[in-house]
Structure formats: structure tokens, C-alpha cells
Chain A
Amino acid sequence: MAPGGSRVDIDPGLDYSPRTESGTRFRHENAGDDPAVSVPRTIRGRVAVAGVGETTYYQHGQAPEPEVKLALQAILAACTDAGLDPRQIDGFASYSNDRNDPSRLAAALGLPELRFSNMQWGGGGGGGAAAVGNAAAAIAAGYADCVVVFRALAQGQFQRFGAAPPAATVAGEQALTFPYGVISPAQRFAMRVMRFLHDHGIAPEAQRAIALASYHHAQANPRAIMHGRPLTPEAYDAARWIVEPFRLFDCCLENDGAAALVLVSAERARDLRRKPAYLLGVAQGSEYRNAARGHNAPTYASASFTTVAPHLYAMAGVGPKDVHVVQSYENFTGGVLMSLVEHDFFAPEDASAFLTLDNLIAPGGRLPLNTSGGNLAECYMHGLELQIEAVRQLRGESTSQVPGARVAMVISGPMVTPVSSMLLGTGDAL
């Protein structure tokens, strides 16, 4: 890998099919029948999303309800969607230090018992897919039977993400950055993207296409905050800089709301009312010394997926060409750009040619991206709205449907550590 480069080279000849611990390929129909065949160490086909739910999405600070009430409403909505009695929930998983802890939720919902409560380490939205993976692992391992993944945000009631904390003094990592005006997430990540754009000669229009795709899809989505507020290329170009290389529309919204998914075993999901969205694979983590303090990650110009993405494809048994639709977390458009490169959808040198609005929109684009509007234009539900949209695509219910979508990817929270990504599929994809 070139110094500063971040491209992960996925061998086109690589066999992506799942393998057992010993390295031999397994066949699902054999697993479990023969005690000599080890249980496959994969989530592929074993767990499904049975229901999804969200509250109304609100402008930042405009939620009329307390945050925990939003969380409860989203959880109940997901259960209604699945056709499950909420009292069957026996576990919760979330990320980014969600304030609504599982024990309180279990008490509030009168759950007969709580068997799994899980928080994915790390701030930002990098834990969105990992939380689904953690919930699924609990189900596959028998720790719990019905696990809810949720995220609730009413930032007006608490501290904003995008604003500086009020501390007068800072230590550690922050001492190396805050006194120089590197404070907000945009300021923290801009130099990663600047280096990547420089290394590969990528034009500003590549980031612009990502923003335009989200706004385009939001116009079809009545849930979207930016529904009825289209974005033109001219308006993008005329918008103010936040921090170069990010203009205003390269940056995510801040919103209030809550979202939830309910997961059960694949077998149980087949008996429920909605078409199951099966997990094909989940991977989380980051590269060698990603968290080296003061922007010293060796693979700096990266969305942090260079080691994660190959694990995801290997577990799912698919390659990038098998993916029909992608939901990729937009904290900043440059992070989406690097995420797509690291998941091998195109080489960095091809980014400017690949990232055009036509290529990124449903129904006919080469890689329909963020088909609900995502963090930029549907709602900054900390990325969990992306998981819900992936499920809707597999059900054929998106407001910007990709015809016949059978495999959907979700990429969570680029440029933080740990990050995570996941692949979902219909029954036909198993």
C-alpha cells in the first residue's frame, strides 16, 4: 500500500463463500446434522430483522416528547411492524452511549425478563451495524431470543454533538487538537478526507454527487426532514464552507427522534408477518493503531474500513458486485466516498467518474445510495434510519425502490473507531 493510501485490495479471484474455523468451506445444509462438522462461525442466514420502527423525525431540538419516550415509541412501532408482542423482547443493543439503558426500558415495558443488554464501545455512528451484529450474535448463541436494536436522540434536551463542550481545560487527545481549533467532528475528519482527495486527484463534484443523491431520494420520502426541499448543484456549490473540503451540504443534519429494529432467529422470523431481512454478515473494528492519538493513525486517509470490509464480504459470501443497494452513513460526504472505496465498489482513481448523480440514484443507478435520504436529508437518526431503509429495500417498500433488491449493505459511521458494516439479504440471497 502506498504511504497515505487507504485502498484495500480485495482479490477479485478470492472465494467469498463462508468458511469454517478450520478454513474449509461449509455447507449450510450439513451444519448441525453431523457432529463432526463444526458449527459455522458466521451469522449468515441465522438471524433476521423481523420488524422496524421509527418515530416522526424532527428538526434538532424540536422533539415534543422526552428522549426516552421516543425510544419506547420506536420500539413499540418495530414490534407492531413485526407482529410481535413487545413482552417477548428479552434483549437490547445500542451504540454511542445511548442514554436509555436496557434495564430502564425493560422495566418500563414490563418485560418478563431481560437476558441481554449490550453497548457497543466508541462514539459517533460507527457502532450502528455492530449493534445489529451484537444483537444477532446473542440470538445465535442462545443468550436471548428477541433483541431490539435502538437509538434515540433528542439533543436539544442534552449536549449537542456539533458544538464544543463547555470545558475550560482539555487533556489527552483533546489537548493536542482543541487549542488549535480542531474541535467539532467536521474539523476532526476534514484532514483525513483532504489527504485522500489529494492522493487520488478526486474532484469536488464527487462529494457533491453524494449529497445530491441523498437530497434526490428525500424528495420521494415523506418521512424525510428535507422532503420538499430539493438541492441543486448550484445551491451546493454556492453554500458556505464549514471546514474545507466540506461545504454545508457535505455535513449531516442534527435531528431528534428514535428508531428501532427487532431481531429474532431466522426460523422464527419466517413465521412472523413481515418478509424477513436476513443477516448475511456483520463486521466491526478498525485498522492497525487507528486510534493513535493526535491524528497518527498509520492508515490516516481512510474511513477505517480497510480491514473491516474484507471480513464482511468473507462472512456474507458475496462480493461488491452482488450488492444491489447501499446505505452509507454520511457524517460527511467524504467519509461516504472513502467507505465506498474501502468496500471495493470502485478504485479511488475512479471515484470522480463513478460518483455521479445518475450512478447513485434509484431505480436505475449503478449503485443506488442512501435511498431514504440518509443522514443528510431523511434524518440524522445516528445512522439507524439506514438500517431501516435497507430492510425496506429488501421488502420492496422503499420510497425509492431498487427493483428486485436482494442484497443490501449498510455502512456505519466512517472515520471513527471502531466502525462497522453489514449485509442483509432476502431469502433468495441465502
Chain B
Amino acid sequence: MNAATAHLPPGLPRPVPEPDGLDAPYWEGTRRGELRVQRCRACQGWQWGPEWICHRCLAFDLEWIAVEPRGRIYSWERAWHPVHPALKGHGPYVVALVELPHAGGVRMIGNLLGDPLQAVTIGAPVAAVFEPHDEASPPFTLVQWRTMS
């Protein structure tokens, strides 16, 4: 997949890792088709979004675990009004907030693929779809979601 087959039109802001490197392992993981989440080596607690310290035990000892890229819809929205020039004339799109029960219930944001007018059900199971943007500089990969039948 490339930008021509991306879910949203080209021209939206591109993600880059933070200058201090905090979330670089996440973005490196998406390039490999992995969904990585922080886990504390000291207390085994999951953590997302990323931070340098474990919010449970305060250890500076977090590792990055590739988790099964599945979850369930925790909430969602359907955006209609184009707030960015790249979205003008595109029409509505669905955003899902996806909960990962097997990774401490952390949540991920992505677009829900398929019909933009589809009915969306909170709690429905979803699977990740990695969306590479190889032509971008630097290249990046988004994590989208599709409902599981």
C-alpha cells in the first residue's frame, strides 16, 4: 500500500518521532508491521501513551512489546467538516478509539476502514491494518482498523 491507496487523502500532517526519541520504537515497529506498547520490566505494567517513567512503580525501565494487533472499539466519531485543506471535498470518515484488552486496556486511535457511513458499534472486535507511506520523507506507517466478521 502507498499513499495512493491510503484511507485519507494525501497532504495531512505526517508523523515523526519526537526529538528526544521517546516514541521512536513505536514508529519503528509500525514500519515492521508490529504494534508496540510500553511495558515496565520492574512491575510488568502496560503503559500507553509512551513516557520515560512507569506511572505505577516509577521505574525508568520500560521495554517495548509487540502486542497482538487486535482490539475492540471503545469509542468512535464520524468527522464531516473538513478542518484541513487536504480533507476538502473528501467527505466523512470514521475514527475509532480501540481498546486492547490483552495489553492492559490501552487505547489506540486510527481510522475505521470501509464504508464511511457504516454503523459503528462500541465493543465490536477490530483488527489492525498497517498502512505504509513509503514515499514519504521520512517514510512512516499508520495503524488503521477494520471490523472483524
Complex Cα gap A169–B13 (Å)? 5
Task: For the complex, give the distance between the alpha carbons of A92 and B51 in Å.
Answer: 35
Tell me the A153-186 residues at the B interface (CB within 8 Å).
Answer: 162-164, 167-184, 186
A294 to B47, CA, bound (A): 11
Q: B95 touching A194 by the CB < 8 A rule?
A: no
Question: Which residues of the other chain, B, contact A244 by a CB distance below 8 angstroms?
Answer: 77-80
Q: How far is the CA of A136 from the CA of B19 in the complex (A)?
A: 39
Q: Which B residues are CB-close (under 8 A) to A181?
A: 8, 12, 79, 84, 87, 93, 95, 111
* Interface flag for A105 (CB, 8 Å): no
Given the contacts A167-B13, A293-B49, A295-B109, A180 and B8 also touching, CB distance less than 8 Å = yes
Binding-face segment, A80-88, A127-135, A235-243: A235-243
Which residues on the B side are within 8 Å of A301 (C-beta)? 75
* Residue on A nearest B122 in the bound complex, by CB: A198
Contact with A along B1-37 (1 / 0, CB 8 A): 0000000100011111111001100010000000000
Which of B83, B95, B107, B122 is the most central at the interface, judged by chain A CB atoms within 10 Å of its CB? B83
Contact, CB under 8 Å: A241 / B50: no
Binding site for A on B (CB under 8 A): 8, 12-19, 22-23, 27, 48-51, 55, 74-81, 83-85, 87, 92-93, 95, 97, 106-111, 122, 140, 142, 144
> What residues on B are CB-neighbors of A176 within 8 Å?
15, 49, 109
- Find the B residue at minimum CB distance from A189: B77
Please state if B15 and A187 are interface contacts (CB–CB under 8 Å).
no
Q: Are B76 and A164 in contact (CB under 8 A)?
A: no
Q: Is the CB of A296 within 8 A of B107?
A: yes
- Decide: B15 and A179 in contact? CB cutoff 8 A: yes
Across the interface, A179 reaches (CB within 8 A) one of B50, B51, B92, B142, namely B142
Are A179 and B48 interface neighbours, CB within 8 A?
A: no
A171 and B109 contact, CB distance less than 8 A: no
Q: In the complex the two chains form, what is the Cα distance from A168 to B140 in whole Å? A: 14
Question: Are A175 and B95 interface neighbours, CB within 8 A?
Answer: no
> Known interface pairs A181-B84, A194-B75. Does A296 touch B48 (Cβ–Cβ under 8 Å)?
yes
Residue of A4, A180, A184, A245 near B83 (CB, 8 A) is: A184
Residues of B within 8 A of A243 (CB): 77-81
Question: Closest 9 A-B residue pairs measured CB to CB?
Answer: A293-B49, A175-B15, A190-B77, A195-B75, A191-B75, A184-B83, A244-B78, A164-B84, A241-B80
CA distance A256 to B19 in the complex (A): 36
Task: Please tell me if A150 contacts chain B, counting CB pairs below 8 Å.
Answer: no
**In the assembled complex, which residues on chain A have CB atoms less than 8 Å from the CB atom of B19?**
171
| Listed A/B pairs (10) with beta-carbon separation below 8 Å | A164-B84, A171-B15, A171-B18, A171-B23, A180-B109, A191-B77, A241-B81, A242-B80, A293-B51, A296-B48
Docked-complex contact A296 and B80, CB < 8 angstroms: no
Q: Which of A168, A190, A295 is the most central at the interface, judged by chain B CB atoms within 10 Å of its CB?
A: A295
Contacts of B12 in A (CB 8 A): 178-179, 181
Q: Does A289 contact B (CB under 8 A)?
A: yes
Give complex CA distance A172, B15 in Å: 8
Q: How far is the CA of A181 from the CA of B90 in the complex (A)?
A: 11
A177 pairs with B109, CB closer than 8 A? yes
- 13 other contacts beyond A191-B75, A293-B51, with CB at 8 A cut-off? A162-B83, A169-B16, A172-B18, A175-B23, A179-B14, A180-B109, A181-B8, A182-B109, A183-B13, A191-B77, A198-B75, A243-B77, A300-B107
Shortest distance in angstroms between A193's beta carbon and chain B's nearest beta carbon?
9
CA distance A163 to B106 in the complex (A): 29
Contact B84 A192 (CB under 8 A): no
Q: Which residues of A contact B22 (CB under 8 A)?
A: 172
Shortest Cβ distance from B119 into chain A, in angstroms? 11
Hey, which chain B residues are within 8 Å of A179, CB to CB?
8, 12-15, 140, 142
Whether A292 sits at the interface, judged by CB under 8 Å, is yes
Q: Name the distance in Å between A254's Cβ and chain B's nearest Cβ.
A: 13
Residues of chain A lying within 8 A (CB to CB) of residue B55: 289
| Contact among B15, B18, B27, B80 with A240 in the assembled complex (CB-CB below 8 Å) | B80
From A170, A174, A182, A186, give the contact of B81 (CB < 8 A).
Answer: A186
CB-CB under 8 A from A167, the residues of chain B are 13
Return chain A residues, CB-CB under 8 Å to B75: 191-192, 194-195, 198, 300-301
Q: Inside 8 A of B95's CB, which chain A residues have their CB? A: 180-182, 187, 191
Chain A minimum-CB-distance residue to B17: A171
* Interface pair B14/A187, CB less than 8 Å apart: no
In the bound complex, residues from chain A placing their C-beta under 8 Å from that of B85 are: 164
